[in-house]
Amino acid sequence: MDKQPTSRTCFLCGRDNDHGLKLKWYNDYENDRVECDVMFPEYFNGYPGVVHGGIVATVLDESAGRAIMLDGNFDNLFVTLKLNVTYKNITPTDTPMKVISWVIRKGAKSAKVGAKLIKQDGTITAECEAIVVKPPDEFNESWEPERKYWHI
């Protein structure tokens, strides 16, 4: 599996973000999906022992969007237009989990992607479908100074 790049300051993947999760995603070409191991510290709880739903949605959103990079083009960035999350079970803190994501349908300027968060016993705690789109040119221009920090 090929590792996807991470950034410097992103809340989820930022190598230099002391408050972030420092997640790493990998392209699983054999199964046509992206995988990421995650464990949510207790300070991301909504209730004791339960990950806040907004944090769950954030991880699903990022993971689903990263499915676009299954084609190996790590500069092919999209942004979320619509995110639909279904919470199926409690997502526990301090518990090793996996997020997997995939492309449902892809076009030149938009795509439909999905992701799910899974406990080690196979229980799905949450899943999503999202519509992602190519960002406007202004976004790409503002991203340019950070590009040098976007690496594996």
Task: Spell out the SS3 assignment of the chain.
Answer: CEECCECCCCCCCCCCCCCCCCCCEEEECCCCEEEEEECCCHHHEEECCEECHHHHHHHHHHHHHHHHHHHCCCCCCCEEEEEEEEECCCCECCCCEEEEEEEEEECCCEEEEEEEEEECCCCEEEEEEEEEECCCHHHHHHHHHHHHHCEC
Asked whether residue 61 is domain-assigned, the answer is yes
Q: Is the pLDDT of residue 137 over 90?
A: no
The pLDDT of residue 30? 96
Asked whether residue 151 is domain-assigned, the answer is no
Asked whether residue 17 is domain-assigned, the answer is no
Domain membership of residue 95 as a residue range: 32-143
Mean pLDDT of all residues in 78-106: 97
| Number of domains comprising the chain | 1
Asked whether residue 10 is domain-assigned, the answer is no
Report pTM. 0.94
Mean pLDDT of all residues in 106-111: 94
User: Which CATH number covers residue 119?
Assistant: 3.10.129.10
Q: How confident is the model at residue 142 (pLDDT cuts 50, 70, 90)?
A: confident
